[in-house]
Amino acid sequence: MVFGRGLRPLSIASAALLTSAFALVFFYAPNDADQGFVQKIFYLHVPLAIVALCGFVAGGVYGLRYLRSGDRAHDLRSYVSIHLSLVLAVGALLTGSIWAKASWGHWWVWQEPTLVSFLIVFLLYACYQPLRFSIEDPERQARYAAVFAVVAGAFVPLNFMAVRMAESLTHPRVLSTTGGAMPGSMRLTFLVALAGMACLFVTLCKYELASKHASMQLRRLKRRLAGDEGLVPLERSAAPQRL
């Protein structure tokens, strides 16, 4: 099984798309009439949040595939998707907070359903790694983590729809009201930034999958070589230990 296939073109595409996106943000897209220059954070914050949420859902899909097939590669994919989505979610929370301070004068608004719901999703997934780490048996670890990923993955779109239906106080509805009224130049910039972020996510996922797979193979080789010197026990880890 090769996880690192196509890494070079993906890395080049990610770098090219993100560089183009940032060039478009600062040299092509006009300043927002309402918020001015600070709205440039939108092209970073929204793609980060969208890709993080999609990554959580992807983790659930891989979890479901693991439960159906028992193939440990899907467990590894689910783990990596969720792990990387958590990193992007931290980025979305931090950039959102900076934008909130610049636009609304507050780092955080607890009355705003969009912010709080995203924080709930983030905190829910923050439990994923401790859950995995708390289970020693690899089979049980993979199975419980997959069930968690499926349930939490189903919660993400439900949560998204619930927030859409809720009355928003200050946070704009990006892909409906604000997004619908975006001029072409802003929409193009946003779409390139979204594509760049998605490409970066896939690239980093593949890097991590390749790295984890190499570690697993190395560990297996070590155990085989140490065969006559006593079995080297598997270290306890939140990450999948073998395929």
Partner 1 sequence: MPALPLDDAGKYVAAAYLVFLALVLIYVSIMATKLARISREIGELSDIVERRAEAAEQPRDREPV
Contacts of 232 (CB under 8 A, 6+ apart): 222, 223, 226
d(CA 195, CA 199): 6
Least separation in angstroms between CB 189 and partner 1: 14
One character per residue 90-129, x = contact with partner 1 (rule: CB under 8 A): xx--xx--xx-xxxxx------------------------
Subset of 34-53 contacting partner 1 (CB under 8 A): 34-38, 40-41, 44-45, 48
- The answer to whether residues 125 and 93 touch, using CB atoms and an 8 Å cutoff, is no
d(CA 194, CA 18): 9
**What residues does 220 pair with on adjacent strands?**
none
Helix (H) or strand (E) holding 169: none
- Neighbouring C-beta atoms of residue 186, cutoff 10 Å: 22
Contacts of 119 (CB under 8 A, 6+ apart): 93
Q: Is 22 in the site for partner 1 (CB under 8 A)?
A: yes
Q: Is 202 in the site for partner 1 (CB under 8 A)?
A: no
**Using CB under 8 A, which of the segments 1-9, 31-39, 159-167, 174-182 binds partner 1?**
31-39
**Using CB under 8 A, which of the segments 58-66, 130-138, 179-187, 205-213 binds partner 1?**
205-213
Q: Nearer to partner 1 by C-beta: 22 or 122? A: 22
Q: Is 232 in the site for partner 1 (CB under 8 A)?
A: no
Q: Of 1, 16, 23, 87, which lies in the binding site for partner 1, with binding defined by CB under 8 A? A: 87
Residue 113 in tokens: 């359903």
Residue 114 in tokens: 């969009």
- Site of interaction with partner 1 (CB under 8 A): 22, 32, 34-38, 40-41, 44-45, 48, 87, 90-91, 94-95, 98-99, 101-105, 200, 204, 207-208, 211, 214-215, 218, 221-222, 225
